[in-house]
Amino acid sequence: MRVSLKDVAAHAGVSIKTVSNVVNNFQHVTPAMRERVQRSIDELGYRPNLTARHLRAGRTGIIALALPELGNPYFAELAAAVIDTAAEHDYTVLLDHTGGRREQELLVSQGFRARVIDGLILSPIELETEDLRDRAGEVPLVLLGERDYDLPYDHIAIDNVAAARAAVAHLVALGRREVAFIGARRGRNEPAQLRVRGWREELTAAGLPVDEGLVAATDGWGHADGAEAMTRILDAGRRPDAVFAYNDPMAIGAMRVLHTRGLRVPEDIAVVGFDDVVEGRFGAVTLTSVSPDKGAIGRLAVASVLARLGGAAPEPRRVRAPYRLVERESTLGRRAADRSPKG
């Protein structure tokens, strides 16, 4: 039989209201009373009815998270960060997979689940500003990623240009002079455009030529796309001494091609990825990568939704999430990487 607030109150010898105040962590309960009630909660095994609590507040207790590719390790790790943070606030996360398709992103953003969710966290790929300008419904929306929308929604992203420049600066500091970029996307994709821009800016700042022949565009962002892009560069007779990839899966695909061609990483060609997914830390050659703070992004996204729900949010804002460059064997070599701080 389910233990109720009434059962806990009787066991502790207090009112139901006092138990409710403890369960909801209201601050005006004395420490002695809180300890007394908590002891009864623990002994009886009471668990709050979160659904009823949310319904009393006129909410469902569900936040939707819509991502373009759940098979991408970055988005899987980001989803875990959002889910963990939401759970700390007694919220459940409903995952939607848009595939980066405009029609699916429109469906999600226009409130097709408005009756079952309290807020939406969306990482769009193809939506345009006009698609979101007349968005229906009152469900709070928080945007993730690097698409730039001049709209009154909270937007959380890292500085892709600065992050890309940090990656290229690392390669230049190691003496690399011909740095390829793989993963420039065909069609509109702002993260790719921003990372190519950072690549160009840092090469220019270092006084190195910006060789557009070393930029390989792709249709996708997976391992096979990275392998195909690397193959295309090598088959064109080019031999860069470094590669900066749009993301880690593409970097790993590129490293596989380099291995099959008899080229050593990093002795012949150094490689840097982006996103710092777990897979890159356990290969035969560990991957140097730009590491967005996925935990911080998850916390900021959930906090933004809850602030909107609580009516305590400031004006819509664009928040820059932190990142760092984690240096590993794919640029430093094994001995140097062993001496570097672990990431």
Round to whole Å and give the CA distance between 109 and 126: 12
pLDDT at position 302 is: 94
Are 98 and 169 found together in one domain? no
- E strand or H helix that includes residue 301: helix 294-310
Are 127 and 180 found together in one domain? no
Where in the sequence is the domain holding 143, given as residue range(s)?
Answer: 60-158+294-321
3-state secondary structure 220-246: CCCHHHHHHHHHHHHHCCCCCCEEEEC
Round to whole Å and give the CA distance between 182 and 250: 8
Are 226 and 169 found together in one domain? yes
Give the residue-averaged pLDDT of 24-29. Answer: 71
pLDDT at position 53 is: 55
Are 168 and 253 found together in one domain? yes
Give the residue-averaged pLDDT of 208-233. Answer: 95
Strand order in the sheet with 154-157: 92-97, 62-67, 119-122, 141-144, 154-157, 318-320
Q: Which of 120, 125, 171 is nearest to 147 (CA)?
A: 125
Whether residue 282 contacts residue 288, with contact meaning beta carbons closer than 8 Å, is answered with: no
Mean pLDDT of the chain: 88
Are 179 and 225 found together in one domain? yes
Q: What Å distances lie between residue 60 and 55, 67, 69, 221, CA to CA?
A: 6, 21, 26, 35
pLDDT band at 223 (very low <50, low <70, confident <90, very high): very high
- Give the residues across from 326 on adjacent strands: 289
* 54 located within any domain: no
DSSP character at residue 341 = P
Give the residue-averaged pLDDT of 11-27. Answer: 81
Are 302 and 174 found together in one domain? no
- Give the residues across from 243 on adjacent strands: 180, 271
* 53 located within any domain: no
Please list, in sequence order, all residues whose beta carbon lies within 8 angstroms of the beta carbon of residue 192, skipping any fewer than 6 positions away: 183, 184, 185, 246
At position 136, the amino acid (one-letter code) is A
Are 332 and 219 found together in one domain? yes
Are 36 and 176 found together in one domain? no
Are 279 and 332 found together in one domain? yes
Retrieve residue 223's tokens: 């391992």
pLDDT at position 230 is: 98
Are 67 and 198 found together in one domain? no
pLDDT (tens digit per residue) in 267-312: 999 999 999 999 999 999 999 999 999 999 999 999 999 988 877 6
Q: Please report, for the domain that includes residue 12, its CATH number.
A: 1.10.260.40
79-93, 129-143, 235-249, 277-291: least confidently modelled range: 129-143
Are 169 and 35 found together in one domain? no
Are 238 and 208 found together in one domain? yes
* 55 located within any domain: no
pLDDT (tens digit per residue) in 63-105: 999 999 888 889 999 999 999 999 888 889 999 999 888 899 9
Give the residue-averaged pLDDT of 228-243. Answer: 97
Kindly report the CA angle at 215 between 251 and 77, in degrees rounded to 5?
Answer: 30
* 114 located within any domain: yes
Choose between 29 and 186: higher pLDDT: 29
Retrieve residue 122's tokens: 């969306």
Whether residue 196 contacts residue 230, with contact meaning beta carbons closer than 8 Å, is answered with: no
- pLDDT higher than 80, residue 134: no
Retrieve residue 299's tokens: 């916390």
Round to whole Å and give the CA distance between 251 and 243: 8
Domains held by the chain: number: 3
Strands 141-144 and 92-97: unpaired
Q: Please report, for the domain that includes residue 72, its CATH number.
A: 3.40.50.2300
143-147, 179-183, 310-314, 339-343: least confidently modelled range: 339-343
* 16 located within any domain: yes
Whether residue 65 contacts residue 145, with contact meaning beta carbons closer than 8 Å, is answered with: no
pLDDT at position 191 is: 84
pLDDT at position 314 is: 67
* 193 located within any domain: yes
DSSP character at residue 41 = H
Choose between 343 and 157: higher pLDDT: 157
Please list, in sequence order, all residues whose beta carbon lies within 8 angstroms of the beta carbon of residue 111, skipping any fewer than 6 positions away: 135, 136, 137, 139
